[in-house]
């Protein structure tokens, strides 16, 4: 049964239907289900009936399986993982039916993303010591994520060959291996030049194409970027949690706040559907309403 899980994970990676993090999440969700089937003495996916799925869902929701209650979004992801897995099994003629199709999808309310103000972005960028090569690298990482609205995986996977510093463009490989071109501002070009000269030239081996290099001469990891942002938050004296995706959210919101149209922001973010990008318009409208409430003489 685990062999089929490995085949499925390879399939979704090859198909490019999700990020590395998505594949990992799907793998954990399905592995948990296989362990449950082992407990019940079921050794074949085709033997899983609707009642088995119902019992599994009940145990999942109560938190017995996960050692703690799960949120609606985690539950919805579990169901999506297993629904997709069984679709794969049915396509391979391993199963004749998908027992998870009998259960309705749960509606998960979308929360507005957290964003940083322009002043907070400035405070973050100002904490770096530009005399220290590692600090130069770290500043470059933070600034390129914000300047280009990158996902953390997109940043870590950037290659030197993806940069066109003359045109000030970055070629980004996003979800589903879809490419997009993102322009950046001249100040980032200066930081990139400094990083390439003061840090990368010393740590990158000849022929190594990844843009951001760790002190161990390998590609920078997403975890390293997360830890770097936590350290930066403390130095900047910000009393909020900061994660890499918040920089991406801030990029989109600041563009819309300053007059960019929704379609342009959609292209820059690499969103397949405009509805995903529209989430930021609600955020912008909320900011406008709050500004009016605070500043308008009749608002009170």
Question: Which sign, positive or negative, has the C-alpha torsion 120, 109, 103, 87?
Answer: negative
248 is an active site residue: yes
Considering the candidates 137, 139, 151, 200, report the single residue annotated as catalytic.
151
Class of residue 112 by CB neighbours under 10 A (exposed 0-12, middle 13-18, buried 19+): middle
259: left (phi over 0), alpha (psi -120 to 50) or beta: left
Considering the candidates 175, 219, 243, 287, report the single residue annotated as catalytic.
175
Buried b (16+ CB within 10 A) or exposed e, 125-139: bebbeeeebeebbbb
Task: Quote the CA–CA distance of 154 and 143 in Å, as a whole number.
Answer: 14
Considering the candidates 32, 159, 171, 245, report the single residue annotated as catalytic.
245
CA neighbor of 94 nearest in space, from 44, 53, 52: 44
40 is an active site residue: no
DSSP 115: -
Judge whether 265 and 256 are in contact, CB under 8 Å: yes
Give the H or E element holding residue 169.
Answer: strand 169-173
253 C-beta neighbours (distance < 10 Å), count: 22
Considering the candidates 137, 248, 249, 254, report the single residue annotated as catalytic.
248
280 is an active site residue: yes
75 is an active site residue: no
Measured distance between the N- and C-terminal CA atoms of the chain, rounded to whole angstroms:
64
Considering the candidates 77, 137, 249, 271, report the single residue annotated as catalytic.
271
Give the number of residues written for the chain: 300
DSSP alpha helix (H) spans, 149-273: 152-156, 186-195, 201-203, 222-236, 244-257, 262-269
Judge whether 267 and 180 are in contact, CB under 8 Å: yes
Residues with catalytic annotation?
Answer: 151, 175, 245, 248, 271, 280
């Amino acid at each position: 049964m685990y062999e089929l899980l490995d085949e499925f994970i390879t399939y979704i990676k090859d198909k490019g239907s999700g990020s590395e993090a998505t594949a990992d999440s799907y793998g954990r969700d399905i592995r948990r289900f296989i362990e449950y089937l082992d407990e019940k003495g079921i050794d074949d996916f085709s033997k899983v009936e609707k009642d088995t799925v119902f019992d599994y869902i009940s145990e999942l929701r109560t938190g017995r399986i996960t050692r703690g209650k799960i949120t609606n979004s985690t539950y919805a992801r579990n169901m999506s993982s297993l629904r997709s897995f069984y679709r794969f099994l049915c396509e391979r003629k391993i199963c004749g039916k998908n027992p998870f199709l009998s259960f309705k999808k749960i509606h998960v309310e979308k929360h507005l993303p957290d964003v940083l103000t322009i002043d907070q972005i400035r405070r973050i960028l100002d904490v770096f010591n530009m005399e220290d090569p590692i600090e130069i690298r770290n500043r470059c990482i933070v600034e390129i994520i914000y300047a280009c609205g990158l996902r953390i995986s997109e940043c870590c996977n950037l290659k030197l060959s993806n940069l066109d510093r003359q045109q000030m463009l970055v070629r980004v490989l996003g979800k589903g291996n879809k490419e997009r071109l993102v322009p950046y501002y001249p100040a980032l070009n200066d930081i990139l030049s400094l990083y390439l000269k003061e840090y990368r030239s010393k740590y990158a081996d000849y022929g190594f194409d990844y843009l951001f290099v760790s002190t161990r001469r390998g590609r920078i990891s997403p975890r390293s970027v997360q830890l770097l942002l936590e350290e930066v938050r403390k130095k900047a004296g910000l009393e909020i949690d900061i994660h890499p995706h918040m920089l991406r959210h801030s990029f989109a919101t600041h563009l819309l706040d300053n007059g960019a149209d929704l379609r342009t922001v959609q292209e820059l973010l690499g969103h397949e559907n405009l509805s995903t990008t529209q989430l930021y318009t609600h955020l912008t409208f909320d900011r406008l309403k709050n500004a009016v409430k605070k500043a308008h003489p009749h608002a009170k």
